[in-house]
Amino acid sequence: MRENLHRFFRAARGAGVHVSPAESIDAMRAVAQVGLADRAILRDALLLTLAKSQDEKLALGDCFDLFFSQPEPAQDQAEANDNGEASQEPDQSPSSSSASGAAEAQPPEGLGPLAQMLLSQDRNAMSAAIASASGAASLSDIRYSTQRGIFSSRILDAMGLQRLRDDLDELTATNPSLAERLRAALDALREAVRDTVSQGLALYAREEAENLRNEILRNAPLARIERRQVAEMRALIRQIARRLRERYSKPRKRQRRGHLDVRRTLRRNAAWGGVPFLTAWKRKHRERPKIVALCDVSGSVAQVSDFFLLLIHSLHEVVDDVHSFAFSSHLIEVSEILEKKPPEEAMAEIMSKVGFGSSDYGSSLVDFEKDFMSTLTPQTTVIVLGDARSNNLDPRADILRRVSERSKRLVWLNPEGRLAWGFGDSEMPRYATFCSVVRQCATAQQLERAVSDIVATYQ
């Protein structure tokens, strides 16, 4: 049962439930207390010790039901026919029918274990044998649907298929009717093994399939994401935001204290024989990070602006001082919206105020210079997220030059490919003159790398 629990923990992780080693130990202790006899109590014990949210509880419940549902071999046709014939012969004496049934229930001597088990129709023994052979065949290592045949063959071989074929050849020559029964039972066994492999694929391949799907999404152009993939892309962007928080928030907290100053610590504790009752710390002066983000939410980038806003939302949780702005034909500050509301509500409100309009970078830069230029300091990193297409209107690159001069650096993240820069109404080459960094961010992977590089400079 311990091995089964370890496989269950692995399946639970594939279902999206975060199971730490400590939690798995707690779960095993709980199972040792409640036992295995009552399946409902076992299910409740695992849910209480492993699930941390309602979503995880639902996922874990489905995983439990799938994991502990053991497929059984179907009743073979020969046995069904025997039962039907017995019901159609009421004049046959009970003693004779029971005697013949007992004779048929006893397999002939000299057959292999698998043949005897199939002919005896012991379903409990069959389920246990399939489970044991699945462990021997390492079914938990299945990852792709194309591996169904391989693992089915491995399980059947582990159960003794080769010996069963020899027994079938021998019975075909000596007892054809019994050989026919054995073939029908073997077909039912193959069906049960296929069900077991399908169950294993659903349990253990989910994580690998999700990783493969996420990898494809990470490298897919954001502007060409299909409607059915938008929800998956948003979930992927949330994962990226969570990684940014985990990667950069914790180091910043540690660095506030600094590093141990060994010399000063030893001098301070000389009176106590060098025992470090009092500690001294080296504190390296670090500039307080400050970011100003300007996000284009016009119609030309409407499909990618959601993803940009999600990343900007995560910046408010990673960096202490972030001022965020959104614009299409005019510019507004959205810092308070992003800080106080969940991502979906914040994005909906921002898009309702300035989204889907006709982009006018010049007018938006005028708004920024007029009302928000004071937010810039020599420690500020300015991030512009947009395609730099201004509908042949005045781009006001002179304002961007003043923004660059007043800030520490100016970073432009463009969702379009570099080959499109400078063609049509694109003002990217003119704007790039005043930028410290210009990056193409056409995919989620490029967007994560760009934002990660920006935040890393403050660590």
Range name among 89-98, 313-322, 340-349, 397-406 with the lowest pLDDT average:
89-98
Task: State the pLDDT at residue 249.
Answer: 59
Return the residue matching tokens 């230029």: 373
Residue 96 pLDDT class (50, 70, 90 cuts): very low
Mean pLDDT calculated for residue range 261-268: 84
Give, in order, the Cα–Cα distances in Å from 6 to each of 20, 175, 252.
12, 45, 36
Range name among 255-259, 265-269, 293-297 with the lowest pLDDT average:
255-259
Provide the phi-psi class of 273: left if phi over 0, else alpha when psi is between -120 and 50, else beta.
Answer: left
Extract long-range pairs of 130-137: CB within 8 Å, 24+ residues apart: 130/70, 130/71, 130/155, 130/159, 130/192, 130/193, 130/196, 131/70, 131/196, 132/158, 133/158, 133/159, 134/196, 134/200, 135/3
Helix or strand holding residue 445 (H, E): helix 444-456
Mean pLDDT calculated for residue range 89-94: 44
Task: State the pLDDT at residue 107.
Answer: 63
Give me the amino acid identity at 177.
S
Task: State the pLDDT at residue 248.
Answer: 61
Mean pLDDT calculated for residue range 71-81: 44
For domain 233-257+287-456, say whether CATH 3.40.50.720 is its number.
no
Where do the domains of the chain lie? Answer: 2-67, 233-257+287-456
What are the two backbone dihedrals, phi and then psi, of residue 438, each rounded to the nearest 5 degrees?
-125, 120
Helix or strand holding residue 331 (H, E): strand 331-333
Q: Where are the beta strands (DSSP E) in 191-277?
A: 259-260
| CB 183 within 8 Å of CB 117 | no
Whole-prediction pTM value? 0.58
Q: Per the structure block, which two tokens stand in for 338?
A: 């992003």
Question: What DSSP assignment string belongs to 336-394?
Answer: HHHHHS-HHHHHHHHHHHHTTS---HHHHHHHHHHHTGGG--TTEEEEEES--B-TTS-
Range name among 12-21, 97-106, 170-179, 326-335 with the lowest pLDDT average:
97-106
Mean pLDDT calculated for residue range 64-79: 58
